[in-house]
Structure 1
């Protein structure tokens, strides 16, 4: 009788572990499916963005596009440099420049 109860308890424990493992695997499967769907959507969005972007047809168009990109990147740098200038004098100068200014006047 005691042995039968122990075997039944072991069987119940194995079933419990099996159910927990199946639930864990199902949860992992759902997560993987969601990640796969997200990846597919991102890939589709990237492809549509590439297809929608105008494609340069000549070397001149490519050069013009690159030049415009460089200009856009340099604009914030120029604005930062202009903000360092105050009253016609640079706000950030080297030590050597400061010494020369003091020796020779402004």
Structure 2
């Protein structure tokens, strides 16, 4: 299966230490700016579909505003609780000031 690269936003659309939610090919995807490095994950918490971009970001870890579940946006891994499902993570490509994500076909 091949991937396709989809433009999502400009780097200036996502402030440092924050995330922004975008609708991309029918999916809610969060773009995260971790000190100038961009990451992309699902935008909603797998627990209760809380809006992760409304959460608090410390380093590369976001805390869901609904029930305080924590995820590392760089890897998609659940931090707390450890047995929580991981977030889907998407590869990010930066070209100039444009942020692209790779989506499976």
How would you bin the TM-score normalised by the shorter chain? under 0.3
Q: Which structure has the highest helix share of the two? A: 1
Q: TM-score if structure 2 supplies the norm length? A: 0.16
